[in-house]
């Protein structure tokens, strides 16, 4: 049961990233570059396969111009 909850959080996180990215009309490659992470890693985040560590979350928040943590965290 705990695994399902974790996977849902990863999925929700990825959906928020995707939504913010599309609001900015940016490609995955552009956001990955702004956040200084690989395209493959960014794609795995958006697909809900992984969760970013705090330093990467900070970079993503800035790259996606999120005003609050609620905009990107599940």
Q: What pLDDT does 6 receive?
A: 75
pLDDT confidence bin for 61, thresholds 50/70/90 = very high
Q: What is the mean pLDDT of residues 63-67?
A: 96
pLDDT for 71 equals 93
Q: For 35-56, how does the pLDDT look when each residue is reduced to its tens digit (9 = 90+)? A: 999 999 999 999 999 999 999 9
Name which CATH class applies to 2-67: mainly alpha
Under a CB-based contact definition with an 8 Å cutoff, are residues 37 and 30 in contact?
no
Give the whole-angstrom CA distance, residue 7 versus residue 61: 21
What pLDDT shows up at residue 18? 97
Question: Scanning the structure block, which residue is given the tokens 């928020």?
Answer: 16
Tokens describing residue 37:
């992470």
Our CA angle for 57, 59, 17, nearest 5°, is 60
- Quote the pLDDT of residue 1: 56
């Amino acid at each position: 049961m705990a695994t399902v909850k974790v996977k849902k959080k990863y999925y929700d996180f990825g959906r928020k990233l995707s939504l913010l990215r599309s609001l900015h009309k940016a490609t995955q490659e552009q956001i990955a570059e702004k956040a200084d992470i690989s395209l493959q890693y960014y794609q795995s985040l958006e697909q809900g396969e992984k969760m970013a560590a705090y330093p990467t979350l900070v970079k993503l928040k800035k790259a996606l111009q999120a005003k609050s943590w609620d905009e990107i965290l599940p």
